[in-house]
Structures are given as structure tokens and as C-alpha cells.
Amino acid sequence: MLASFALALESYRTHLEAGRGYSKHTVKGYLTDLEDLVDYLEVQGISTPAEIDLELLRAWLYTLSERNLAKSSMARKTASARSFTAWLFEHGQLANDPGLRLRTPKATRTLPKVATREAMSEIFASLEAAAVEGSPVALRDLLVVELLYATGARVSELAGLNLSDVDESRRLLIVTGKGNKQRMIPYGVPAESALKNWLERGRPSMVTSKTSFELLINSQGKRLGTRQIYEVVAQALVGTAVGVAGPHTLRHTAATHLLDGGADLRAVQELLGHASLGTTQIYTHVSIERLKDGYKSAHPRA
């Protein structure tokens, strides 16, 4: 990679991490997309960011479409390019911002997988039966599923919780979401019971010299990672109609069940930490589809 592009990407990385507060995973995604763009530009004989124009960006996207990339991938790469050119323009490295005229391919939106209320009841019955024996791991796993379903938190938000992030008196969690934005999420009585059992009977027996203030820990006493949480959830969901799925399915399920129960859409938006109400509205479609299915199966003239 030419020095001019390498320097621009490194400065942009700093902007994303420090200025925007993005996670390492998000920053890596942006940079991977932009490295692909830079590779294309260098093949075309472009040696500095100042030479980027709309036609080059469109040509790059065309080569990506030739690879038969999914619309969602195309949309993400387009967004990465637009964000980069906007930053270059703001910092005087482009005379104008060609990304403003770059159209984003609309991704095909599929409805998220959602577990039924009955399936969740069966899952909790199984987890609670295992926790009765007092195994620290069983107590922790029950809490993991309880909190994900009770709060709709992202897996990274759950994994990042410390003891100080739990307000037991008011049954609230303080989670740090995208862009390092914090929000408070309530949880119910079942999650409160699971939390109490974990703190009193489970966590103390798993604490080691490596443990600090993490709420959820593994058998080595270290913070429970997102991959380990995925395994817990996948195991819990394996016997349901949803099949093997990760923590995001419980987030989808929580949001859908809230709307089914009459929760306000904006309240669900706040609970999930969505910046846009449009992101939350996908769950109204899920609820409508469930309503249609129930109507077709129950109404004699459906």
C-alpha cells in the first residue's frame, strides 16, 4: 500500500476509535472494506486520496458486484466508502465529497428468527432444573439467558458488565452500547432471582486470582467472552423451532414479545439502544406476521 493511503487509513482508524468511539470489531470492518477500495485504486494508478472521484467509487462497486456479493455486504462497503470520503473532505484531503452521490444498494431485509413464548418457558424450566443442583456453571448459564431475554441487551453489552453496573435495589443494568453510549435497562423478578443466586452461590466459587470486578466469569475466573455466551445460548435454543442460534436471537425475541404485549415502539427503541426508530420497526413486521399466522390457523374464513 502506498504511503499516502496508509497514512490516511491510520489517521481514519484513530478517528473511528477515539472520535467516534467504535468498537475494535466495527473499526476492523471499516478498515477491511477500505483496504479493498485502496487496492482497487492503486491498480487503477491512483496514488493519493485527493484523486478519488465518483466514477472511481462506482467502478469499484461494480467490480464488487461482479463477485456476487450479497446486497447487505455491498451496502456495508458503500457506507464505509461514504464515511471515508466524508472524513477526507472534512480534513481537506478532497476538494469535494464524491461519496455524497454514491447510492447505497438496498439490502434485502429478512425477518429475524424469534422463539415463541412457549419455547422460552421450556428453556427456562430446563435451565432452572439444572441450577437447582447448585452448579456454578448452571447458575451462571441461567443468568446469561435470563438477562439477555429480560433486557434485550447485545451480547457485547452483557459480556462487558461489571458488578458496579448492576443496581439491585432498582433492578437496573447500566450497559455500554455502540459508540460507548450508556443506557439503563430494567430487568424482572425472574432475572433478579437468577442474579441473586449467581452472586451468592455461583460466582464466589468461580473467583480466582485472575478475577476482578466482572459480573460474569468463566471457569478460569476471567470475564466470560462473547463466544462462550454464544455457546450457552446455542445450547439452550437447540431443541426449539429456531434451532441453533446465538444471543441476538434472544434480543429479537425480547423485542418481539414486548411489542406483542403492547409495549410502545419508542420504549422498545430505548431499551434496545437503537439510534433509529426504523431499526426497531422490523419487530413490528415480525409481530404482524405472527398475527397473520394466528389468524390463518384460527379463523374459519381466513
Residues in the chain: 302
Q: How far apart are CA 195 and CA 151, in angstroms?
A: 13
Kindly report the number of other CB atoms within 10 A of residue 288's CB atom. 12
- Which residue among 22, 149, 187, 283 is the active-site one? 283
For residue 194, list its beta bridge partners.
none
Q: How far apart are CA 237 and CA 164, in angstroms?
A: 30
Query: What sections of the chain are H helices per DSSP?
Result: 3-14, 24-43, 54-66, 71-90, 117-132, 136-151, 155-159, 189-197, 203-206, 226-237, 247-260, 265-272, 277-280, 282-298
Q: Which amino acid is located at 66 in the chain?
A: E
Kindly report the number of other CB atoms within 10 A of residue 192's CB atom. 14
Active site annotation includes 227? no
Kindly report the number of other CB atoms within 10 A of residue 62's CB atom. 9
Decide if 59 contacts 15 (C-beta within 8 A).
no
- Which residue among 15, 20, 248, 290 is the active-site one? 248
Give the residue carrying C-alpha cell 468463566.
218
Active site annotation includes 13? no
Q: How far apart are the first and last CA of the chain?
A: 62
- Which residue among 20, 171, 178, 222 is the active-site one? 178
Query: Hey, what's the cell of 144?
Result: 446469561
User: Residue 130: what are its φ and ψ, rounded to 5°?
Assistant: -70, -35
For residue 186, list its beta bridge partners.
172
Q: Classify the phi-psi angles of 5: left when phi > 0, otherwise alpha if psi is within -120 to 50, otherwise beta.
A: alpha
- Which residue among 203, 251, 252, 257 is the active-site one? 251
Q: Classify the phi-psi angles of 180: left when phi > 0, otherwise alpha if psi is within -120 to 50, otherwise beta.
A: left
Active site annotation includes 178? yes
**DSSP 8-state assignment for residue 162:** B
Active site annotation includes 91? no
- Which residue among 154, 203, 223, 252 is the active-site one? 154
Active site annotation includes 252? no
Active site annotation includes 274? yes
Question: Which residues carry out catalysis?
Answer: 154, 178, 248, 251, 274, 283
